[in-house]
């Protein structure tokens, strides 16, 4: 045990002193603080533009559009001719102008002129122009209340209830996925860097024959357990920094930015599950990396083979749009249970919808079993093939070796 601790201490200190580890640990809180600071500085030095009124000119060739020219964020001013409107636009007296042709009521088409290069009309501009047109078309026949309902027919507010019919503490909010999504991405990167670091370290020790010296002092079991636990502890320290800083940064961001950020709710079990899934996920990836390090003839070969499970963990992030639109699809349930994708997929789902307790329990149990069985097999593989140089054993040789070991 003393030898295991010595190797653990050496590997842990070596891991946390690496520049890449320090940068990866601090980059998220530092970048978030910088973003908040820059936003505060910009809003202090400049006038807020949220409530600024945009001046839009219009030429009414139909002769029926004169009311409701003040549309809140947009104010429309009339011009007698297109030439006058064009001159006003060139002189920047208006930001743009529209022409309502005489046949508008039959064609439904208006022309918009602007100096900006745009692919499509900004939605907010289109909305207020449509509101202006609708009000003037209906003003003589429909009450103002009905016109308001036509212009904005739906303001859908959704309230989530718990099983007792009371208002639930956690309400749905598109912003709720921000923290889980960022954490899932960081989790994937931590697994990737941890796996590659372990493979590189083992490869260097194997190629320099240092591994033979180590085996003369410690057993294979002691060496592997110490390495895996050292990098895992360093990674856990990294994750704890992210998890602890997340609520603090969210509080600062909501007070600075406001809006939907102030309504973001971090799931109650997010912190606990974040730690649990990191530990189990990291151990699984470390065990897979140890196995590859043992059978590969070179570090490059091991890195190439590791891409299979490293890229697989990013699958939930690649298809996260589908998770938002179809949160209860069986595909996400499978990815939440499959050990390689379970940590990232489960953390993503926490921000979108409730996850049944049995799925979380099944996921954790399968991850735990994978770690236990994987550790047992990886020690055997490492012991048999780590000192083999020049060639990688075939799958048949590995299976036969496991049977006879």
In tens, the pLDDT along 203-239 reads: 776 666 666 666 667 777 777 788 778 877 887 887 7
pLDDT attached to residue 388: 58
Report the pLDDT value the prediction gives residue 42, as an integer from 0 to 100: 66
72/393: higher pLDDT: 72
Residue spans per domain, the chain: 2-35+174-404, 54-151
pLDDT of residue 385: 65
Q: How confident is the model at residue 283 (pLDDT cuts 50, 70, 90)?
A: confident
Domain 54-151 fold is D-Maltodextrin-Binding Protein; domain 2 (3.40.190)
Q: Quote the pLDDT of residue 45.
A: 59
Question: What is the spatial distance between Cα 208 and Cα 217, in angstroms, rounded to a whole number?
Answer: 17
**What does the pLDDT average to over 144-172?**
63
pLDDT digits (tens, 9 = 90+) for 8-35: 887 788 778 777 777 777 777 777 777 7
Question: What pLDDT, on the 0 to 100 scale, is given for residue 50?
Answer: 47
- Mean pLDDT over 338-358 rounds to 85
Answer whether 0.75 is exceeded by the pTM.
no
Average pLDDT, the chain: 77
Of the pLDDT bands very low, low, confident and very high (cuts 50, 70, 90), residue 367 is: very high
Higher per-residue pLDDT: 240 or 61: 61
Mean pLDDT, residues 187-204 = 79
State the pLDDT at residue 74: 85
């Amino acid at each position: 045990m003393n030898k295991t601790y010595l190797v653990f201490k050496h590997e842990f200190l070596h891991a946390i002193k690496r520049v890449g580890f320090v940068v990866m640990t601090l980059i998220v809180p530092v970048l978030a603080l910088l973003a908040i600071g820059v936003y505060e500085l910009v809003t202090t030095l400049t006038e807020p533009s949220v409530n600024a009124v945009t001046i839009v000119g219009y030429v009414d060739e139909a002769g029926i559009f004169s009311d409701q020219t003040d549309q809140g964020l947009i104010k429309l001013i009339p011009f007698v001719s297109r030439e006058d409107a064009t001159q006003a636009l060139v002189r920047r007296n208006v930001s743009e102008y529209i022409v309502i042709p005489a046949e508008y009521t039959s064609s439904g088409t208006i022309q918009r002129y602007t100096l900006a290069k745009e692919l499509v009309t900004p939605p907010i501009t289109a909305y207020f122009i449509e509101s202006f047109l609708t009000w003037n078309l209906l003003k003589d026949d429909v009450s103002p209340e009905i016109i308001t309902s036509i212009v904005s027919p739906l303001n859908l507010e959704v309230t989530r209830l718990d099983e007792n019919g009371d208002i639930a503490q956690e309400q749905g909010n598109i912003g709720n996925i921000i923290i889980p999504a960022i954490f899932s991405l960081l989790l994937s990167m931590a697994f990737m860097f941890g796996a590659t670091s372990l493979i590189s370290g083992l490869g260097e020790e194997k190629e320099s024959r240092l591994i033979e010296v180590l085996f003369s002092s410690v057993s294979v079991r002691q060496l592997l357990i110490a390495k895996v636990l050292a990098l895992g502890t360093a990674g856990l320290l990294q994750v704890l920094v992210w998890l602890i800083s997340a609520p603090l940064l969210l509080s600062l961001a909501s007070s600075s930015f406001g809006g939907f950020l102030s309504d973001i709710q971090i799931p109650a079990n997010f912190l606990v599950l974040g730690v649990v899934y990191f530990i189990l996920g990291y151990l699984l990836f470390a065990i897979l990396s140890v196995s590859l390090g043992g059978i590969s003839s070179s570090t490059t070969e091991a890195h190439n083979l590791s891409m299979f499970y490293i890229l697989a963990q990013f699958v939930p992030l690649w298809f996260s749009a589908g998770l938002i639109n179809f949160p209860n699809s069986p595909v996400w349930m499978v990815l939440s249970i499959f050990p390689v994708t379970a940590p990232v997929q489960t953390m993503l789902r926490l921000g979108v919808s409730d996850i049944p307790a049995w799925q979380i329990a099944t996921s954790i149990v399968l991850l735990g079993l994978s770690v236990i069985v994987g550790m047992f097999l990886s020690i055997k593989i490492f012991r048999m093939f780590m000192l083999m140089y020049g060639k990688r054993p075939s799958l048949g040789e590995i299976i036969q070796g496991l049977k006879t070991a």
